[in-house]
Amino acid sequence: MEIFGSTFDDSVFSESRDRASVSVSSYSPKLCESEWFCQSEALDTDDSLEKQKVYKFRGDLAVRRGDYQKALDAYSSCLQWIADNNLTIRRDVLEGMARCCTRLGQRERALHLTELLSKEASNTCHLTSLLLLKVSIFQHFGAVESSVCVLQQLCSLLPFNPWHWLSLGQTCEQLLGRSPGAAEEQEAGQVEEEEEEEEEFSQDRIWLKACACFIRTRLLLRILQQQQSSFVLRRSESALQLMEEALRRLQPGEPRLQALTEVMSEDLVPEKMREDYQDGESLSSVSLQSFRERWWDKVLLRGRGASQGTGTDTET
C-alpha cells in the first residue's frame, strides 16, 4: 500500500525542453500623470471601480492638504460607488469621513459614523481601530470622561499594550481638579450606569485609577525592555521616566504603591503574555464591566486596605 503523497508524477522531473511552452502576451503598464484623478475627465467612465478610486484619491489628497470639507464631500461620493463586498475600502472611507467631521466640528455625525463602523467590526484589528478613532474624537471635543471609558475598553481588549495604559493614566490625570462632567456633555450609553457616574469620576477614584494605570505601564515597559534595542528601547526608557515623574506627582505612598503593583501585575506571566495570546478579547467581552471585574474592583479593595500610605486616601 502506498503512503499518501509518496509518489510523484514523472512530468515533474522531465526536462524543461519537453514541457509545453506557454506564450506570455506583452504587457504595457498604464502611465498616469501626477494627480490625474483631479481632472474632470477622470470621471468620464461607466466603471464603478474607477469612480471609486477617483473619489477616494481626491479625498485622501484633500485631507493631506487640510481641506476637510472637500475631503468629506469626496469620501461621501466615493461611498456610493463601493461594492457591497468591499468592506476594507468601506471601513477606510467611513473612518476618513469621521475624522473629517471631527475636524469640521461635526461631533454628532462623527459619532454616528463610528456606530456604522462598529456594526461591521469583526476582529480585534477592526475594534482597535474603532476605539482609537473614538478616543481621537472625544479628545478633540474635550470629552475627557468619555475618553476614559473608551480607553478602558482598549486596555481590556489589549491588556499587555503599555501605551494604552499610559494614555488612560494621562487622561485620568487630566480629570484631577475637575468636577465630574464639568467640561463635557456625556453621550448616552458612554457610561453604563448613569446613577453611578458621579461616584465613578470622583476625584479619589480618578486619582487611584491614574496611579494604577501608571504602575501597570511601568511594569509592562520593564518587561518589554528585555527584548528591545535601538530607538524602541530609548522610547521605553523615556516613557519610564515619565512614569516616575507622574507617580511622584500623585504621591501614592509606599504601602499603596506596593498594593497596586501586586494587583496590576497578577496577570503578567509569560504564558499569558506570549504573542499567541495577545490577539485581544472576544468582541462581546470588551466592555467597561470587563475592566471593572479584571482590575478596578481589586484596585479599590487593595487601595482601601493600604489607606495608611501617604497621598490622597480612597473613599470609604
Give the SS3 label for residue 190: coil
Judge whether residue 81 has pLDDT over 70.
Answer: yes
Q: How far apart are CA 306 and CA 252, in angstroms?
A: 10
Q: Where are the alpha helices (DSSP H) in 141-250?
A: 144-157, 162-175, 197-200, 203-225, 230-250
Choice between 165 and 308, residue whose per-residue pLDDT is larger: 165
Judge whether residue 188 has pLDDT over 50.
Answer: no
**The C-alpha cell that represents 122 in the structure block:** 469583526
At what angle are helices 107-119 and 87-103 packed, to 10 degrees? Answer: 160
111, with CB counted inside 10 A (0-12, 13-18, 19+), is buried
Label residue 197 by pLDDT band (50, 70, 90). Answer: low
Choice between 73 and 267, residue whose per-residue pLDDT is larger: 73
pLDDT reported for residue 177: 76
Beta strand segments in 30-71, E: none
Per-residue pLDDT tens over the stretch 91-140:
999 999 999 999 999 999 999 999 999 998 888 899 999 999 999 999 99
Return the number of other C-beta atoms located less than 10 Å from residue 311's C-beta. 18
Query: What would the 3-class secondary structure string for 114-132 be?
Result: HHHHHHCCCCHHHHHHHHH
Q: Amino acid identity of 22?
A: V
pLDDT reported for residue 122: 85
- Percentage of residues in the chain with pLDDT exceeding 70? 77
Residue of 50, 57, 44, 59 whose CA lies nearest to 30: 50
pLDDT reported for residue 110: 98
Judge whether residue 216 has pLDDT over 70.
Answer: yes
Label residue 192 by pLDDT band (50, 70, 90). Answer: very low
CB 184 within 8 A of CB 144: yes
Q: How far apart are CA 166 and CA 153, in angstroms?
A: 14
Judge whether residue 247 has pLDDT over 60.
Answer: yes
Choice between 283 and 245, residue whose per-residue pLDDT is larger: 245
Per-residue pLDDT tens over the stretch 264-289:
999 888 777 765 455 555 555 566 67
pLDDT reported for residue 201: 82
Per-residue pLDDT tens over the stretch 8-25:
556 655 555 555 566 667
Per-residue pLDDT tens over the stretch 28-64:
787 878 888 998 888 889 999 999 999 999 999 999 9
pLDDT reported for residue 308: 47
Handedness of CA 105, 111, 117, 122 (dihedral sign): positive
- Percentage of residues in the chain with pLDDT exceeding 90? 58
Per-residue pLDDT tens over the stretch 130-158:
999 999 999 999 999 999 999 999 999 99
CB 175 within 8 A of CB 313: no
Tally: H helices and E strands in the chain: 14, 0
pLDDT reported for residue 8: 53
Mean pLDDT, the chain, integer: 83
pLDDT reported for residue 208: 94
